């Protein structure tokens, strides 16, 4: 497993790190939403950018100016006229899942330890997103409006460093300072300890037990995992497995030869 090559990045995420006219949202027949960055002019010509693409990455839509409403019905009609441009071919309206600041680190750490790298453009915009959601004190909270916590700061610091942010980058320096003021990464709650253990920078012995054996208990037990809320049981299952085998990322100091 190789780490990403370090990147030379601006001091802030104020301006885009990629060409936003090259991003396209692909929606599969199963409803999966994935963003793709087109590299060639031929690709751009074959796959024009839609109003939906532009809206979700903040580009102007160049739509006709709507008349100022004078009552609720006219306002509703304006809403219809606008949102019909964001509807995709199969009839639904794609949406972003922003807000939580503990999901991206899991994606980044999981992709890293399984050897499934991001493209350079994906790395750049994930980094920019995290830069732009850092708090004034340099840390991150549990959500975009939350105050800095050990949980948010430790995991998002790991994420930007994995993605290629250098340790002396202003954002990284400020984040470390915030984390130290909060008491350090050892104060991270259980989900944070879990991810740090997967990353092999924290010992599994410091985690609360996540017994996978609960799944083989009789179904009639009132606390059997299959009776839990879907988000809880779908998280507990892989966490229980990784805890059971004490999974640890391979230690390495090398970088991806491709520079990705």
Give residue-wise pLDDT tens across range 165-181. Answer: 999 999 999 999 999 99
Q: Give dist(CA 251, CA 5) in Å, integer.
A: 16
Give residue-wise pLDDT tens across range 37-58. Answer: 999 999 999 999 999 999 999 9
Q: How many CA atoms lie within 13 Å of 162's alpha carbon, on the beta-carbon side?
A: 30
The tokens for 33 are 């939403």
Considering the domain boundaries, does residue 146 fall inside one? yes
Query: How large a percentage of the chain has pLDDT more than 90?
Result: 89
Q: Give dist(CA 125, CA 166) in Å, integer.
A: 16
Considering the domain boundaries, does residue 52 fall inside one? no
Q: CA–CA distance from 241 to each of 8, 99, 212, 214, 236 (Å)? A: 38, 28, 6, 11, 9
- Work out the mean pLDDT of the chain and round it to a whole number: 93
Give residue-wise pLDDT tens across range 197-254. Answer: 999 999 999 999 999 999 999 999 999 999 999 999 999 999 999 999 999 999 877 5
**Residue 179 phi, psi (nearest 5):** -60, -40
**Residue 38 phi, psi (nearest 5):** -85, 135
Considering the domain boundaries, does residue 18 fall inside one? no
Q: Which long-range contacts (CB under 8 A, 24 or more apart) does 46-50 make?
A: 49/21, 49/23, 49/24, 50/25, 50/88
Q: Give the chain's radius of gyration (CA, Å).
A: 22
Considering the domain boundaries, does residue 37 fall inside one? no
Considering the domain boundaries, does residue 14 fall inside one? no
pLDDT of 72 strictly over 50? yes
**CATH classification at residue 222:** 1.50.10.20
pLDDT of 258 strictly over 80? no
Considering the domain boundaries, does residue 120 fall inside one? yes
pTM of the prediction?
Answer: 0.90
pLDDT of 2 strictly over 80? no
Identify whether the C-beta of residue 2 lies closer than 8 Å to the C-beta of residue 249. no
Domain hosting 188: range is 103-245
Considering the domain boundaries, does residue 67 fall inside one? no
Give residue-wise pLDDT tens across range 84-102. Answer: 999 998 899 998 888 999 9
Closest CA to 192 of 220, 241, 151: 151
The tally of domains found in the chain comes to 1
Considering the domain boundaries, does residue 211 fall inside one? yes
Distance of CA 25 to the CA centre of its chain: 16
């Amino acid at each position: 497993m190789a780490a990403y090559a370090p990147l030379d990045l601006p001091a802030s995420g104020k301006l885009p790190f990629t060409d936003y006219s090259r991003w396209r949202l692909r929606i599969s027949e199963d409803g999966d939403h994935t963003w793709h960055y087109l590299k060639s002019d031929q690709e751009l010509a074959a796959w024009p950018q839609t109003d939906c693409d532009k809206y979700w990455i903040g580009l102007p839509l160049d739509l006709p100016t709507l008349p100022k409403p004078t009552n609720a019905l006219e306002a509703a009609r304006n809403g219809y006229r606008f949102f019909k441009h964001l509807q995709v071919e199969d009839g639904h309206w794609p949406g972003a899942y922003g807000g939580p600041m503990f999901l991206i680190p899991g994606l980044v750490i999981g992709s890293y330890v399984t050897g499934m790298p991001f493209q350079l453009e994906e790395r750049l915009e994930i980094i920019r997103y995290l830069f732009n959601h850092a708090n004034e004190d340099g840390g991150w909270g549990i959500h975009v409006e939350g105050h800095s916590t050990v949980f948010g700061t430790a995991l998002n610091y790991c994420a930007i460093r994995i993605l290629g942010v250098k340790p002396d980058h202003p954002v990284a320096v400020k984040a470390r300072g915030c984390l130290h003021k909060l008491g350090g990464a050892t104060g991270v709650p259980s989900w944070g300890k879990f991810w740090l253990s997967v990353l092999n920078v924290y010992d599994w012995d410091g985690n609360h037990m996540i017994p996978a054996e609960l799944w083989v208990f009789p179904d009639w037990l009132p606390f059997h995992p299959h009776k839990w809320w879907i988000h809880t049981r779908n998280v507990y299952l892989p966490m229980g497995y990784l805890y059971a085998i004490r999974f640890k990322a391979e230690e390495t100091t090398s970088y991806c030869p491709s520079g990705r």
